[in-house]
Each structure stands twice: as C-alpha cells, then as structure tokens.
Chain A
Amino acid sequence: MPGLEDLYREIILDHYRTPRNRGELAPPASKAEGHNPLCGDEIQVYIDVADGVVRDIKIGGQGCSISQSSASMMSAAVKGKSIDDIRNLVRRFKHMMSIEEEGNDSPIDESQSLGDLEALQGVVKFPVRIKCAVLSWNTLLDALNNA
C-alpha cells in the first residue's frame, strides 16, 4: 500500500490550509458548479474571460484536502493564461491522473513545467481519490464552455 506521504505532500497541505483565489466573481463572469455525487464535495469556479484570456478566477465550495488543493493550484496555474493554453493544461493534468480524452490522439504539449501541480502526481496511486483531484478541472472546462 502506498504511504500517506505519497498523497499528502506538504505543498498540497499548504494549498489546503491556505487556498488561493477563494471567492466569487460577479456576473458577467462565467460560473460553473461541480458536484462529486459520491462524497458530497461541491465546487464553484468563476472565470472572467476577455480577448481569449482568463483574466481572473475564483473558487468556492467545500471538499477534501485533495479536491480543495487541486482547485487552489489550478486557479494559480490558469490565471492570466489563454483559453487554448488552459485547455491544453487541463488535458495534461487529466493525463497525469490517467484520464485520457476520448478520440483525441493529438500530442499533448508538455513543454511547460506543471509547477506545484506535480505534487498531485501521487494521487494516481490512490485511484478512489482521482475524482477528487479532477473535480475542479472538469468544472473549469464547464466554466470555459459557458463563457
């Protein structure tokens, strides 16, 4: 059995205790809500998009350390990035979580460092927690599609 230290890396606990970009954005910001129906976690992602760039992002909701830290790291990683870059990053993150986009065989651009997000790699060893880690990312995709 993999050890807890593989899962609860210090950087993850840091984002959990001190989440970045918490809050809400008023309309016309795009909002999406995600639920993990099995464990009751819920998350809201607000994004402010202008000229194809996510200018601002805020995260609301409640969840476990993995879902909350993943959301916090995600918010820091996507702020100020273009939608194209963000979609690539989502794909890359989900790839790290062993989730592949069906019917999309195009290569994933891995030229940029994942930064703090690398810390979530250990989640893959705990398959039941993968859905905690990707909840905010799927919700971000919904928010992008709503924008």
Chain B
Amino acid sequence: MSFDVALIKKDFPLLQRVINNKPLVYLDSANTSQKPRQVIDAMSHFMETSYAPINRSAYQLAAESTDAFEHARGLCRTFINAPRTNEIIFTKNATEALNLVAHSWGGANLHRGDVVVLTQMEHHANIVPWHMLAASHGIELRWVPLTDDGQLDLTNLDSLLKGAKAFSFTAMSNVLGTITPVQQLCAAAHAAGAIAIVDGCQYVPHNVTDVVAWGADFLTFSSHKMCGPSGIGVLWGREELLNAMPPFLGGGNMIADVRLDGFTCAELPAKFEAGTPPITEVIGLGAAISYLTAIGMSNIRQHEKETVTYALSALNDRYGNDITIHGPSDPEVRGATLSFKFKDVHPHDLSQVLDQSNICVRAGHHCAKPLMRLLGANATARASFYLYNSLDDVDALVNALEGAGDLFSL
C-alpha cells in the first residue's frame, strides 16, 4: 500500500486536538507514541466482550481471554521474527525486560571480575542494572566509545570484547537517533564468546526487526513507543538461554508446583510472568502490531528517513551555526530523532516557547546522562518523528524556533 501520512494521522484521535485554535504538533514519539483508533477500539472491545482471567478458570470466557492474550504473543513473535512463541516474555516495559536479563541471566552467570560491555550512548535502563550487578557481583563494565558524529567507534571493539561475557547495546540511540550495526555487533560479541543483548526500545517501533538475521540472544522493547498502550513490554530471548536462567519474580502463574519445602518453575513463557499480567494492554499491543504491520515497517522506515532528511536540511539551512544537531548527518544510519542545541537557549525554555505553538518536544537529559556529559550538555531539546508526522510538522518546528531566539535576545 502507498504511504499516506494524512490518512494515517486521521487514525489517531488525539492528533485531531486543537488547542487555542492551533493544531497539535506531536514531536515526542521517542518518549511515547500516540495511539490509533484501532488500538483504542481493540482494548475497549476486549474489555466489553472478552475480559477474564487468563491461564486459569475453566469457563468459556476465560478461554477466550486466554486465546486473545496468546494470539497477541504470536503477533509479537512474527513481528520480530522470533523462532518460537514461548520465547516472548511479557514484562512491564523495556526497562523491566533489561532488568530481567541483568538480574536473572547476569545474576546466575556473572562472577567477580567478569566483563560486560556497554556503549556510551545507552539509556539508563541499559546502564543502571549493570551498575547494580557491579555492586552486587563485582563485575567490570567496559564502554564502546563514540565517534564525533555520534556513531559507535568500533576501532577497538575486539579488544573491548576480549574476555567479555555479555555485550548489551542499543539498536538505536534515544538521544542521537543513531542506528547501530546490530548484526555486526552481535557477530563480534559471539566471536568473543559473549552473548548479545539488544535494547530495541527505539528501533523496533520504526524498522523491520529480525532477531534471527541479527543473530541476537536477547531483545527488549516497549509497547507504548509503538502505538500500543503503556504498561507492557517484551523480552525475547533464545529458548536455550531462557530455560537455563533462574526465575526473576516469584508468585502466581510462574510455578509448576509449590510445596512447603520449595517450588518448581513453570515452563516458558510463564516462568518469567509472575502474577496477573496487564491483559488488556497485551491485547492493545497485539492490535498495535497488526496496525503497524498493515502499513508496513519498511514503509514506516522509508517515511521517517525522508522526514529526517528533510528536517536536517530545513533546520541547518535556516539556522546554520545557530543550531547544533547531535548525531549522524547521514539519514541511512539514523532514525527520525533529533536532539539539538539552539543558540544558547536552555532546552527547557525552548520547549516552553515551542509549547506556545502546541509543538511537543522533550527537553532534558533523556535518561542518558553519561552521553549528555560526552556531548558537554546538561540537557538537549529533542524532536522525534513517527509515522503520523508530516513535513508540515517539520516546518512548524523550524518556524517556531525563530521566536525562541528572539525572546532570549541570544
């Protein structure tokens, strides 16, 4: 199908909002995305017709609820080309998924002096769990540095990976927009005897994902950044690894048996899904995947590549040296997430001024403080585009920036 952004935008009720007679320009999808009618309706319909506990109770309604829930798990499998459906673990979000890997796999397999390699562009969610393991297990962290244009500097990758047990990295930076060479990084990890953990939180919503082609061992991503509801994330892991890992959270659903003297874990995926999950949210995630798949992930990537190409030249042409856009200038290796510095206007003030034009951008450190220090900034402003953003939205941003510089006389 052809990609028609005007038609797509119509699917999103919230994007129809008008505030002070001006349309909403939502440029914060790297933070969280808006939801299409299809997702909202699927969740409402499920709650109105089929909501019931899953994996327990013998009545028909419970069976329907369980079927719908497991159908969504199957959609997740197909979406990332995972080999097996039982490798899809539902978590609260990508942060919890990364914590699950660090604490369960890392807790069981890492010992004092073992090395985990991260990159300097990671989100706190892929840093702090490893810092916690450094404190509890005495592991050592090594960091892949960045090039001047915000890509991974792979010059010394092999020596950094030497002796490492795990390499955990983002597929796309939430600050720089950089798309990393995931397949190459997975291969380098394996050549060094390390497992490859891919943080796909920013990448999966915007690109075709294929964990088999990548050769990854784990992948994490979050529903709310891909048109689905918040409160649900996904961990995919290779079955062999998941089976060998100890459980993460204990409780209902994750057990085969509980005795006074101990317990036996359930099989995958229940083993890692303690307690009642966010059932309706999983249905919503499934609907979001169906929605995105119908449009086509390669079409979405193409649209965003065109959008970021246009945005880069529009901002640079208009503002020249007054604007510094972080990250790669080549749209082939970046997504449509633009962090920038505009004159000397503080990002918080910048987003306040843009808000007058209903332009929603993020201002802050984007949960990536080590990267911010590297950029020499406490904070940046970040505009991030998605399938529903048109070139008009880019123009709105470009035009509204003019006023910010004037206000602060910078």
Asked if B8 is an interface residue, CB under 8 A from chain A, the answer is no
Asked if A64 and B348 make an inter-chain contact with CB atoms under 8 angstroms apart, the answer reads: yes
Say what secondary structure dominates the interface of chain B.
Answer: mixed
Asked if B191 is an interface residue, CB under 8 A from chain A, the answer is no
* A contact residues around B378 at 8 Å (CB): 39-42, 62-63
Asked if A143 is an interface residue, CB under 8 A from chain B, the answer is no
Query: Binary interface profile of B, 301-321, with partner A (CB < 8 Å = 1, else 0)?
Result: 000000000000000000000
Asked if B408 and A39 make an inter-chain contact with CB atoms under 8 angstroms apart, the answer reads: no
Q: With A and B bound together, what is the CA distance between A4 and B351 in angstroms?
A: 12
A17, A40, A65 pick with most chain B CB within 10 angstroms: A40
Asked if B352 and A41 make an inter-chain contact with CB atoms under 8 angstroms apart, the answer reads: no
For A62, the closest partner residue in chain B by CB is: B378
* B contact residues around A3 at 8 Å (CB): 356
Asked if B356 and A40 make an inter-chain contact with CB atoms under 8 angstroms apart, the answer reads: no
Asked if A13 is an interface residue, CB under 8 A from chain B, the answer is yes
Asked if B364 is an interface residue, CB under 8 A from chain A, the answer is yes
* A contact residues around B409 at 8 Å (CB): 13, 17
Q: Give min CB distance, A107 to chain B, whole Å.
A: 34
Asked if B365 and A39 make an inter-chain contact with CB atoms under 8 angstroms apart, the answer reads: yes
Asked if A7 is an interface residue, CB under 8 A from chain B, the answer is yes
Asked if B37 is an interface residue, CB under 8 A from chain A, the answer is no
Asked if B19 is an interface residue, CB under 8 A from chain A, the answer is yes
Q: Give min CB distance, B9 to chain A, whole Å.
A: 23
* A contact residues around B369 at 8 Å (CB): 40
* A contact residues around B348 at 8 Å (CB): 39, 41, 63-64, 66, 129, 132
For B378, the closest partner residue in chain A by CB is: A40
Q: With A and B bound together, what is the CA distance between A62 and B365 in angstroms?
A: 13
* B contact residues around A7 at 8 Å (CB): 352
* B contact residues around A26 at 8 Å (CB): none
Q: Give min CB distance, A75 to chain B, whole Å.
A: 19
* B contact residues around A132 at 8 Å (CB): 348
Q: With A and B bound together, what is the CA distance between A62 and B19 in angstroms?
A: 32
* A contact residues around B20 at 8 Å (CB): 1
Asked if A41 and B379 make an inter-chain contact with CB atoms under 8 angstroms apart, the answer reads: yes
Q: With A and B bound together, what is the CA distance between A65 and B364 in angstroms?
A: 14
Query: Binary interface profile of A, 1-13, with partner B (CB < 8 Å = 1, else 0)?
Result: 1011001100001
Q: With A and B bound together, what is the CA distance between A125 and B372 in angstroms?
A: 30
Within 8 A of A (CB), among B179-232: none
Asked if A129 and B364 make an inter-chain contact with CB atoms under 8 angstroms apart, the answer reads: no
Q: Give min CB distance, A2 to chain B, whole Å.
A: 10
For B22, the closest partner residue in chain A by CB is: A1
* A contact residues around B353 at 8 Å (CB): 4
Within 8 A of B (CB), among A100-126: 126
Q: Give min CB distance, A50 to chain B, whole Å.
A: 33
Q: Give min CB distance, B239 to chain A, whole Å.
A: 38
* B contact residues around A66 at 8 Å (CB): 348-349
* B contact residues around A8 at 8 Å (CB): 349, 407-408
Q: With A and B bound together, what is the CA distance between A62 and B372 in angstroms?
A: 13
For B379, the closest partner residue in chain A by CB is: A40
Asked if A40 and B372 make an inter-chain contact with CB atoms under 8 angstroms apart, the answer reads: yes
**Known contacts being A1-B356, A41-B378, is A64 close to B349, with CB within 8 Å?**
yes
Q: With A and B bound together, what is the CA distance between A16 and B19 in angstroms?
A: 30
Asked if B363 is an interface residue, CB under 8 A from chain A, the answer is yes
* B contact residues around A62 at 8 Å (CB): 378
Q: Give min CB distance, B60 to chain A, whole Å.
A: 47
Interchain CB contact (< 8 A) of B407 among A4, A39, A40, A129: A4
Asked if B408 and A13 make an inter-chain contact with CB atoms under 8 angstroms apart, the answer reads: yes
Asked if B356 and A39 make an inter-chain contact with CB atoms under 8 angstroms apart, the answer reads: no
Asked if B346 is an interface residue, CB under 8 A from chain A, the answer is yes
Q: Give min CB distance, A125 to chain B, whole Å.
A: 12
Q: With A and B bound together, what is the CA distance between A129 and B365 in angstroms?
A: 16
For A65, the closest partner residue in chain B by CB is: B349
**Known contacts being A4-B352, A38-B364, A39-B379, is A65 close to B372, with CB within 8 Å?**
no
B348, B364, B365, B369 pick with most chain A CB within 10 angstroms: B348
Q: With A and B bound together, what is the CA distance between A1 and B408 in angstroms?
A: 20
Q: With A and B bound together, what is the CA distance between A129 and B352 in angstroms?
A: 9
Query: Binary interface profile of B, 360-375, with partner A (CB < 8 Å = 1, else 0)?
Result: 0001110001001000
Q: Could you list which residues of chain B lie within 8 angstroms of chain A, going by C-beta atoms?
A: 19-20, 346-349, 352-353, 356, 363-365, 369, 372, 378-379, 407-409
**Assuming A17-B408, A38-B364, what are 17 further A-B pairs, CB within 8 angstroms?**
A1-B20, A1-B356, A3-B356, A4-B352, A4-B353, A4-B356, A39-B347, A39-B348, A40-B364, A41-B378, A62-B378, A63-B346, A63-B348, A64-B349, A65-B408, A129-B348, A132-B348
* 5 A-B pairs (CB sep. < 8 Å): A7-B352, A41-B378, A62-B378, A63-B378, A129-B352
The 5 closest A-B pairs by CB, nearest first: A64-B348, A40-B365, A64-B346, A40-B379, A40-B378
